[in-house]
Structure 1
Amino acid sequence: MPNSRPPAALPAAPAKVTLPGGTDLFRLHSATRSGLDFNPRPAHPFYGGGRFDATALDDYGYLYAGLTPAAVVCESLLRSVPFDPDGGPRLLPRAAVRGKALSFLRLAADVTVLPLVTGRDLAAVAQDAWLVQTEAAEYPFTRHWGHWIRTHTAPWAQGFLWPSKREPAERVAVLFADRLPAAALADHGLPPLALDSPDGGEWLNSVLEPYATRMAPL
């Protein structure tokens, strides 16, 4: 519903989901920064940016992660990767992972998120599946809706949880730095995996295989 404005109030009480301390998270990010660093840079209100990024209209640190490796790989890397018309595997361009790392994180405290998973979840925030399934061209609208949802669920909603568009059986999340306690995230104990390294490429191909995809050859 990109052309509808949010109503004055929530139509129902949103659900709450607790991600318990110890929950594993997987984050794909630039290798130039730590996997624990929240993105502090607001997106432009109309151009670029992600589904629920901050903007100057609602400025907060944000961090996207998957609850499984498949979730973060599919959500981050399988956008607009076409299938081979001859039935071969899809080829993920190596440029897509150049300079990227996968960090293995865990929650060090319980975190309460607002689920955007079921029709009931979405109806409680006056929305439908468009909010979590639409493509990047409409992200300015989803950011606006995300800011409205944050406003009406302050201070308890410390993030949102929804199904990965490219792997609906798995969940992805965005966490809000301004609502999390200090040190709510921790390293899992494993070093970040450089996805453009031989080991990273081998790991990535093992995750991509069930999705009829592999890294493009050198």
Structure 2
Amino acid sequence: MPHYRPPEELTASPTKVTLARGTVLHRVHATRRPGTAFNPRPAHCLYGGGRFDATPCDPYGFLYAGLNREAAVCETLLRSLPFDPSGAPRLLPRVSMRGRRLTTLRLTAEVTVVSLMTAQDLAGVHQDGWLVQTEAADYAYTRDWAHWIRHHTDPWAQGFVWPSKREPGDRTVVLFGDRCPRGVVDAVEDTAIDFDMAEGEEWLDSVLRLYHARVAP
């Protein structure tokens, strides 16, 4: 996909999708931050950051989650983890899981998001699969497109939903803190899985093995 700037105007029709109150989400996050907390730190406009993070050009709190636990794990921990040419399982460095947990969340209110699930959905924002499939080297561009989409779907778009790149059968969402009501997600009690604990590591390793990966010794 060429690196071109978004057009001045949105002349197509973005697809609206409603996530119902009670929808369950799963999030892998640092244990120092509650699972319900939106990330308040904008990414640099050009370096680092995630696919649809805020930047100083468009500051907003953001929260990424998977529609199931496997998508949350894959999107967070299997990014840029290549397969071993010898055929051995991929090894997840322990530093990648240290100080992290998986929290199950539930929407406390109905949320309207822009769907980026299909080619038709993507065409509705003048894009194609590049927007949701490209790797981190292009994230400065995808963030710019995200800000443009937000601008042209203000105020109704409270987030995006798209196919998980690492688990294509599942969905990933990002919610925007400046457009979602306060307390839009609530943690489901007694569901947190701490990867620093023996039980949590065992659970994580069982999920990773489904993707020909494992926690490094």
TM superposition score category, shorter chain reference: over 0.9
Q: What whole-Å deviation, never above 9, does each CA across 1:26-73 have from its counterpart, x for those lacking one?
A: 111111110111011111101111111111111100000001001111
What residue is the counterpart of 2:177 in the other structure? Answer: 177
**TM-score of the pair, normalised by structure 1:** 0.96
Q: What whole-Å deviation, never above 9, does each CA across 1:162-188 have from its counterpart, x for those lacking one?
A: 111111111001000111112211011
Percent of aligned pairs with the same residue? 60
Deviation, structure 1 residue 207: 1.4
Q: What is the rounded CA distance, in whole Å, between the counterparts of 2:158 and 2:52 in structure 1?
A: 13
What residue is the counterpart of 2:11 in the other structure? Answer: 11
Q: What is the rounded CA distance, in whole Å, between the counterparts of 2:53 and 2:90 in structure 1?
A: 29
How is 1:60-71 mapped onto 2 (pairs within 5 angstroms)?
60-71=60-71
Please tell me whether residue 121 in structure 1 is matched to residue 104 in structure 2.
no
What residue is the counterpart of 1:29 in the other structure? Answer: 29
Q: What is the rounded CA distance, in whole Å, between the counterparts of 1:134 and 1:157 in structure 2?
A: 22
How is 1:50-89 mapped onto 2 (pairs within 5 angstroms)?
50-89=50-89
Deviation, structure 1 residue 191: 4.8
2:71 is aligned with what amino acid? A
Please tell me whether residue 202 in structure 1 is matched to residue 202 in structure 2.
yes
Please tell me whether residue 167 in structure 1 is matched to residue 138 in structure 2.
no
Q: What is the rounded CA distance, in whole Å, between the counterparts of 1:23 and 1:191 in structure 2?
A: 15
2:162 is aligned with what amino acid? W
How is 1:79-158 mapped onto 2 (pairs within 5 angstroms)?
79-158=79-158
Contact 1:2 1:141 survives alignment (8 Å): no
1:22 is aligned with what amino acid? G
Deviation, structure 1 residue 80: 2.0
Q: What is the rounded CA distance, in whole Å, between the counterparts of 2:172 and 2:149 in structure 1?
A: 17
Which blocks of at least 5 consecutive residues in structure 1 are unaligned? none
Deviation, structure 1 residue 84: 2.7
What residue is the counterpart of 1:38 in the other structure? Answer: 38
